[in-house]
Amino acid sequence: MSQNTENREHPSPRITLGDLGLLKNHLNRCAPEKQDKLLLDMLKQIFGQNSKDLTLELAKELIEHVRGVPKNNLAFLNYEYLAEFMDKAIEDDNVPLMEYLLSLSASMMRVLGQNGFNMNQRVHQHTTLHFALASPYTDDESVQLIKYLASRIHDINQTDEHGYTPLHIWLHETQEDRWREKQDVVWEITTHLLDNHASLAATAKEENGDTPLHFVVQSASLPLVELFLTRGADKNARNKDGKTPRDYAQRFKDSADDDEKRVYTLMMM
């Protein structure tokens, strides 16, 4: 009887995707200083779901919703709260949720380490390094996380479902606005990946077969073109269309841009 009474006083209804609208409205109406605790309670209920994919989708929907709300203090993103979620994700062997939490805070690596998690574990063909390199965060802690993973992953050239290695993923990310003003960090991370044996010969197998040099020549990333050439990248490697990095450089032949002209000159040498 007492157990039934307790359940009536503290109900824990099963949360589904259909409940998200109601939950988001509830969060919006909540006082800012109480929002973190309310979200924590909601997420604790979500962890009871049977489907790992559903658990991840629900958690992401709620967290991203609140991250987009202009509040001065979102304490739920503090280490203590995220660590509690990470502990539960590890307990449930929910790798997608672990990776998502890693994207929110590089501090979560500490929790993984404390729990003995194998960072080489893959989900949907992605390694944790793939995920970290695609993270939206550019702060020092996130950069250190990337370097930490690159130094410790068993095979830095593992590919995802598109045939992309972590280096391929990274080169795509460097074209995003958030990295354009941090070229020193781009250089630091790229060099670190190469120092840890990231392959310049790897091709994006299920896309068009581009090597890393194909990528950086097309974007006229002069420092990376120079770096890759000094590390032995092949100017004449052919992708699935039969195109080489040298072929891609041809379009810069008459360019007025100094970097593009220099890329052309280097590739023709």
Q: Would you tell me how many other CB atoms lie within 10 Å of the CB of residue 118?
A: 10
State the 10-residue block means of pLDDT for the chain, 269 residues long.
42 59 76 70 66 67 60 48 70 69 65 59 65 77 83 87 89 88 93 97 83 96 97 96 97 97 97
CA distance 269 to 265: 6
| ∠ Cα 231 144 70 (to 5°) | 125
What pLDDT was estimated at residue 138? 80
Q: Mark 186-198 as b/e (b = at least 16 C-beta within 10 Å).
A: beebbeebbebeb
Domain boundaries, the chain: 23-117
Tokens read off for 268: 């023709």
The pTM score is: 0.66
With tokens 């392959």, the residue in question is 199
Helix (H) or strand (E) holding 266: helix 258-268
What pLDDT was estimated at residue 16? 65
> CA distances (Å), 37 to each of 11, 26, 34, 162, 184, in order?
17, 13, 6, 39, 39
CA distance 43 to 59: 6
DSSP-based three-state secondary structure for 115: coil
Tokens read off for 248: 């891609």
What pLDDT was estimated at residue 18? 66
- The DSSP code for 69 is S
